[in-house]
Chain A
């Protein structure tokens, strides 16, 4: 039941926070914090109680499984399961959830209760996505995380919020429908072969498909995940959504929602369609490298802080895509680390952008005019730190991710990897340009700016700590993910 509680606690918190919105005081925020903290404790206890070991032969990589009937007529059940990979992503979700509640403490002033309802509902949906192993349930949660996010951007967003949130919705919804088609078709094919209608991941794994239909079905899944990731050329919803979302929305979007795409790629594409995925690999790896370079180059030209960071996300997610399709141990481990590292570092950059916008009422780098360092050294130093994390400085988490992905990808294709390595140069260009424009230079006359306060410093301090810790000691994460990734690779080899 723990798994159901993992989803139920944020959902319950969401409803409570909405109800508490009617009372004066910071109740919705406190309830949200409490619910997420409780959930985090629960997830950590899972970590604690199930020490993983590769040494045990025949050890199933699943830590815990829950199977309740839901719509037995159609073979749909409430099938939740957690392995190291899911657990890592759930932990990341909860940490970033806490961070985003804390980061929007002063930013959100209107309809606080409903805001936290949407925030927690999205998080519950995301956790559901990471835990669900019934494909129908997976799709259900896929939609659950989408709709509250639509409201988060549409109600509390910035200038162009309606356009952005609609764009976000249409992109994800349209691609999600393709996935639904694929899911249903896959279940029907499986029924024809085995006589049992089932949406369970475990049942569908061994389905044998004709090459053509396998490719089509895989494309349905792939498009949904590629749009979410996002992969060039399906990335254009991301900069708009990020730019107009409130800070918390951007953090969740970049840190967690994009990761659901990465998770989907890992969990479903190659295990369900090994041959089709292998056939498709060269195309995807080329697109991944294009994404790495293209995202970085477009980021360099942006004048809006959040838009710039959004394009860097596209570049970083290119590494994830590259790693997933390289499909070997090094690359997959790199993907996991890159997912966490990107969530933390980009989330922090969005918080910094939000802090700057709260103080200066602009996101335009040109209007910030630089020189913030002399006014707010703590803010600037933290900004510099995360810019450096973003450009892949060794010793910080992103480097581990990128290095492992490149090392893994090298075994698949040396040429592609060499081009991807050029992404490191591009990363240096945009990250340093961001630092230069936002923090360096001379401050305009009469600009007053408060430095980070204790709340913001705590939030960002925790994130800095995590990024450094992962950078010098990624082993706990690697160990946690190893059996799960090993399991995935074995599935693909059947």
Chain B
């Protein structure tokens, strides 16, 4: 922490930019004693120009670098890209590929939420809650790695389908892991979610009212914690989500505690979705073969999906060449950044880590 200026009773200081949990970003905080008066977020430390990089790379070469902004949710950020690129290239993925995509996207959602949960635990000084989800996350990484080949950045979705089929024996392995994890989530509730010490730290902290959440344009689990049942998977079903039956966990309170519960319930729903997707999947091709240089037709396409942090939106403009002319990524983290200064004002400085990480803000994704 560095003191920026002193003005009467107020003290302005800079928190960060060294990695307050997930990536480099800075908060310029003005405090009156222990109470935060004003917060100015200062993002941009990890800007890599992913959108500009897309303009000099082919549709396939764009895939590895586009998943770098959120490596823990790499399929979440790629899903919208491949949907938009498919529209421009003019390929349709086979049904089996669409179900495999759902499996991978939901596995990534669980992996991402587990990472979030463990850091949320350590931000409150609860070391057990850091160790347990990080350990159980390995089981899901193992499942995803058996399909994707690597641990986090799979480069697995490509326009026209997915790169390979799921391995034999995946279903048994996945169901065994889910049976274990459903029981494990009850233990999480005992040690953390119903723990009186955690309740004291999170209940009523950073309350986000329904009207504010809607008018500030917050998406994803943060919006659902404020009582709005909005989920792109239900509102505008893409891929095969319309054939799958699942619920949207919603809480009315809008505080840091309900934001944690939404994510816990979402992991349960994700497992439900994967179980259904495995059952509904029929044998068949996983990719539509493409010959020669891949070129997009002249025009533009957009796609909106639900990533782990909220609504992921891609807008691709093509001039008919092998490179996209312009790729615009609208990421959920940047939308949730608006909420941060709104929520922090009026709270104590000691509650800042809880509110900051409760929003699941990922600086690298926001800066892209």
B partners with A: no
Residues of A within 8 A of B (CB): none
Residues of B within 8 A of A (CB): none
